[in-house]
Amino acid sequence: MKTNQEKVELLYEKAKEALNNSYSPYSKFKVGAALITKSGKIYTGTNVENASYGLSMCAERIAIFKAISEGEKDFETLVVIGDTEKPISPCGACRQVIAEFGVDEVILTNLKKDFKVMSVEELLPYGFSGEELDDKNTNNR
């Protein structure tokens, strides 16, 4: 059984490996993410850009979409790393996607190993959720 610190260190290394795979020739801004499920599986993501800039996809959403595609939906910890002065700050779109599935903690970091641990509620206060939709449609999820 891993200690919490060992788990975070492993996720940090996986997220950094993903950052090194970043396809970001336009922004030159590399991001990596590593998501661990409650069952202990790890899914990584990096940002993938496109010549048509708006088609680019963030590291966080790729990690989450990979996990969902593999049938996982119970998430424990998401680590996000950027080559940033302070721990990276996920974009609004990623915050919304993170909130959709939930995760116990989001750990934001950088190559210098500054850490900021946040809850989904702290990342996206008063966010929009599917509960609002349930009022209009009883069988939409």
Ligand X SMILES: O=c1ccn([C@H]2C[C@H](O)[C@@H](CO)O2)c(=O)[nH]1
Choose, from 6, 9, 13, 60, the residue flagged as catalytic.
60
Stretch that binds ligand X, among 12-20, 22-30, 98-106, 119-127 (CB under 6 A): 22-30
**85/56 Cα distance (integer angstroms):** 23
Count of residues in contact with ligand X, rule CB under 6 A: 15
Stretch that binds ligand X, among 25-33, 65-73, 112-120, 129-137 (CB under 6 A): 25-33
105 is catalytic: no
Return the residues of window 51-70 that contact ligand X according to CB under 6 A: 56, 58-60
**120/134 Cα distance (integer angstroms):** 21
The binder of 31, among Zn ion, ligand X, none, by C-beta within 5 to 8 A per type, is ligand X
91 binds Zn ion (CB under 5 A): yes
Residue pair 15/34 in contact (Cβ under 8 Å)? The answer is yes
DSSP string, 2-57: --HHHHHHHHHHHHHHHHHT-B-TTT---EEEEEEETTS-EEEEE-B--SSGGG-B
**89/82 Cα distance (integer angstroms):** 9
The binder of 108, among ligand X, Zn ion, none, by C-beta within 5 to 8 A per type, is none
The binder of 36, among Zn ion, ligand X, none, by C-beta within 5 to 8 A per type, is none
Residues that bind ligand X (CB under 6 A): 24, 27, 29, 31, 47, 49, 56, 58-60, 80, 88, 90-91, 94
Q: Which residues are catalytic?
A: 60
